[in-house]
Amino acid sequence: MLFDFDGPVCSVFAGFPAPTVAYRLRMSLEERTGKRLDLTPSQAEDPLEVLRLAPTLLGLDLARVADDLLTTAETTAADSASPTPGGDSSLRASAATGRRVAIVSNNSGAAVLEYLRKYNLLHLVGDAVVGRAYGKPHLMKPDPRPIEAALRLLGVEPNAAVLVGDPVTDIEASRAAGVACIGYANKGVFEVNRAWLVGGPLGCSRSVIVGVG
Ligand SMILES: [Mg+2]
């Protein structure tokens, strides 16, 4: 069982809003470079999009600086993250029924570990925590390599695994890795995503979308 972190397990930025984190990261990077990071409004509010696009738009040497800044913010945010209803019990039930469990996240591994320790969940995953590759935001999901790394840690083949993740990048990543996906739709996008995924460009016959709220 592979779980994305932000969404299926918790809301990382519940107490430290993502747009604020994204704004501070963007301001820091712009001050360092003296250049403006030209983003769309939705990109500008998403810390991971700022991280993903900053090296391309401001210079490749910024990738590690940006990762360090965001990791600091994420580990702070993890302390005030809001557990997803059913998230911890899903992790516990997976482990209790003999399934090996991993976390595969675009957040930093440090932030994931911080949260798992705080809520006494770390023993359920052991060392099977795959955060984003340091300074390499182009390797975040939807790139399949984080999922492949988790499969190696668990010692399981793709066709024996399932990822619980947020549409849409997690579903794209799981499809590319050959892993089935349970899409956790928590933002009122259930019908849209179901139509798009099943009949749309991804054609995910092995995916299930679960709507909440
Ligand atoms: Mg997520």
pLDDT over 80 (residue 95): yes
Cα-to-centroid distance, 106 and ligand 1 (Å): 8
Helix locations, 13-135, DSSP H:
18-33, 41-44, 47-58, 62-79, 87-96, 109-118, 122-125
Model pLDDT for residues 112-121, shown as the tens digit of each residue? 999 999 999 9
34 alpha carbon – ligand 1 mean position (Å): 32
Mean pLDDT taken over the chain: 90
pLDDT of residue 200: 43
pLDDT exceeding 70 applies to what percent of the chain? 87
CA–centroid distance, 62 to ligand 1, in Å, is: 24
- Centroid of ligand 1 to alpha carbon of 28 (angstroms): 25
- What pLDDT is recorded for position 186? 74
Residues 174-212: b if buried by 16+ CB within 10 A, e if exposed? bbebebbbbbbbbeebbeebbebbeeeebebeebebeee
- Half-sphere CA count of 135, side-chain side, radius 13 A: 7
In this model, does residue 185 exceed pLDDT 90? no
Ligand 1 center to 108 CA (angstroms): 12
Taking the C-alpha atoms of residue 120 and residue 99, their distance in angstroms, rounded to an integer, is 18
Q: What is the pLDDT of residue 140?
A: 98
Q: What is the pLDDT of residue 189?
A: 52
Quick one: pLDDT at residue 198?
A: 47
How far apart are the CA of 74 and the centre of ligand 1, in A? 14
- Per-residue pLDDT tens over the stretch 29-84: 999 999 999 999 999 999 999 999 999 988 888 999 999 999 999 999 999 999 99
pLDDT of residue 14: 95
Which of the two residues, 130 and 193, has the higher pLDDT score? 130
**Cα of 152 to ligand 1 centre, how many Å?**
21
CA 78 to ligand 1 centroid distance, Å: 14
Quick one: pLDDT band at residue 88, thresholds 50, 70, 90? very high
Distance 202 CA to ligand 1 centre (A): 18
- The pLDDT of residue 187 is 66
Residues near 194 by beta carbon (within 8 Å), at least 6 away in sequence: 209
List the one residue out of 70, 73, 64 whose CA is nearest residue 50: 70
Distance 46 CA to ligand 1 centre (A): 12
User: Which amino acid belongs to residue 186?
Assistant: N
pLDDT class for 201, splitting at 50, 70, 90? very low
With a cut of 60, say whether residue 196 has pLDDT above it: no
User: Does the structure show a pLDDT above 80 at 168?
Assistant: yes
Residue 135 pLDDT exceeds 80: yes
pLDDT of residue 204: 46
Ligand 1 centroid, distance to 157 Cα (angstroms): 23
